[in-house]
Every structure is written in structure tokens, then in C-alpha cells.
Amino acid sequence: MPVKPRGASWQAAVSWKGQRVRKDFPTKHEAEIWEAKTKAALMSGEYEVGVKSTEPEMTLQDLFDLVVETRWRGTKAEKTSTLNGRHVIEILGPQRPVKSLCYEDTLKIKKEVAAWKRSDATINRKLAAFSTMCKEAFNLKKLDNLFPVGLIKERQCRVRFYGDEELNAMLKWCEDRAEDELRDYIIISLDTGFRQGEVLKITKRDAEQADLWTYDTKAGNNRDVPLTDRAKEILKRRSKPLNDPDAKLFTHKPQWYRDHWKQMQSDLKMTDDRNYVPHVLRHTFVTNMLLVADIRTVQELAGHKRIETTQRYAHTSAERKRLAIQRMSEYQGAETQA
């Protein structure tokens, strides 16, 4: 068989007058092209078996392009993985020979990204992209040895959530300026815990179900969330004028919501808070749910794959802890009176 898989690569082989020439390629298509050209060159006398041909040295840019196509293309993390890979190239240089990559490069990536004032989690994402590229190079025999990338142990930080005063200020701002679209978006996000992309995918068909479903989520699953009365009212109102069951209830592009959110943030004097972002509405949903439900139920409602993710939200403020005890006391008092 002239072309066959060999580990993560494809090997092409050509036999000529009792001798055999082999070469590995990242894709089957490239191997087949080389096999056909080499066979033709041997027959015409243009290629001499035993004379080693010069092969272009793989650069970091070459490796990145290959990994984008073979590892990241079509995945849920394609956009972020590609961006992180580009940052690695920016730091180490696109023409850097792949065979020269080493452990010291991981230290350079950490130092450079830290200088951008990025979090440990962001640094780790750059390192993870670099690790994927190095593993691919090793499988292709373009890198002699693998080395540890040394992910940073991320600090346990308190999860940001919005308090009642902040939420009331948001909704009042929307009402005062007739920002009904943003108001509806905020409430649906807050009452369902849906991510922005999940909110913007809601259709008339979805809105007519007893529970609100979202499909093919970031975690790769489907999940349903029972609706609050105000969420039901919003979905019913927005779906009523639509005829197509697959019509979207929120029709603006993501940038529209970001722009209007930033205007609200500016008017409410919250521009110094870097975590004053729409995604924190989801954090608030999870934090609030943990006050009234067990952690397994909250995990399912949020669609977290790992319960450790949900547990991060349990580390809330002292005020939230006091509120939880107060609610328990009220519940116990109601039971005693009954």
C-alpha cells in the first residue's frame, strides 16, 4: 500500500529497482501527491534513490496552520484556540523552527502574557494552545522531545455576581430609556442562566414549550430550565407576532447588546468594574439558585459538566451566607407555626 497511516501522520512509499523511498506527511492528500510525483521522477531519471532530498524546515507558522486545520477547525473552541495560538506565534515568532522549541519558550509565554496584565486562566489558555501544537509536532517527528508546559495553579477567586441594587439599577435604566430589548435580554439571562449565545438562539418554537430548552451547548449537551413568571411573559410577548416557529426572538447581533450594555455601564458609573459584563448575569443565576436548591440540581440547571465548576459559585459573600441562614430560619418558623 503506497500511502498508509503512521501514528498521527501519513507515510508515502515508492519502490524502484529493489530500493524503497519513504516519507511522512501531515495529511493523506500531501502524501499521495508526493508519491505520484516521486514515482514519475524516478521513471524519468530526475530522482536518484539514495540521494537525500532537502526538505523545507517546518516553522511555527506552518505548525499553527496545520493544527488549525486538523485539530481546531469545526470545534466549539475553534475561535478561542485559534486566537490563543496566534498569540503564541506573536510571542515566539512565526519563522521560529519547530525543532528548536523548548521548555524556556513556556517561560517566555508566561512572562509576555503576564505583562499584558492578563489573568492566570488566560495565561493557561495560551500555554494549552502551545502544548497542543508541540504534541502535534512531536507526533509528526518534527520535534524530538516533549516538555512540560507548567500550567499555573489558578487562584481561588470569589465569583462576581450582581446584587439586588445593581439589578434594580439596570432594569430602571432600561425602563427610563425605553430599552425594552436590553431589558428583556437581561431578565431572560438572569432567570434562565443561559449564556449570551444561548439566549440569542431562542426561537418561537422554544418559547412555546413548558420549559425552555437550549441545544448543543458549550458543554456539548442539551438542557432545560423551568421558567419564572416574568420570563414566561417576555417569551410569550416576543413570540406572539412571529409566524415562523423557527424565528428568533432576539434578532440583533451580539455586538448590539454589547454596545447598549456599555452605554448602560457608563451611565451607571460602573466603567471601572472590569467584571461588569453580561456573562455575570449567568453567575448571578447560579449564585441565587445555590441559596434555594442543592448543588446537583444547580449543576443540571447551569449545564456544568463538572460539579467543581458549580462549587466555585458556593464561595459567595458573607451577606449571601447570612441571607441563606435567614431564609432557612423563616422556613423553619413557618413549619413550626403550621
State the DSSP string of 71-96. IITTSTTHHHHHHHHHHHHHHH-TT-
Q: What average pLDDT does the structure give for the chain?
A: 87
Please give the Cα distance from 21 to 188 (Å, whole number).
63
* β-bridge partners, 212: 225
* Identity at 145, one-letter amino acid code: N
- Among 137-141, 280-284, 288-292, name the one with the lowest average pLDDT: 288-292
* Identity at 43, one-letter amino acid code: M
pLDDT tens-digit series, residues 224-272: 899 999 999 999 999 999 999 999 999 999 999 999 999 999 999 999 9
pLDDT tens-digit series, residues 50-96: 444 545 688 999 999 999 999 999 888 899 999 999 999 999 999 99
- Res 288 pLDDT > 80: yes
Domains and CATH numbers, the chain: 3-44 (no CATH), 60-139 (1.10.150), 164-332 (1.10.443.10)
- Res 168 pLDDT > 50: yes
Query: C-alpha angle with apex 126: 120 to 132, nearest 5 degrees?
Result: 130
Closest C-alpha among 175, 186, 198 to residue 277: 186
Strand order in the sheet with 19-25: 3-6, 9-16, 19-25
pLDDT value of position 153: 82
In angstroms, the Cα distances linking 185 to 73, 134, 172, 197, 273 are 30, 42, 14, 11, 21
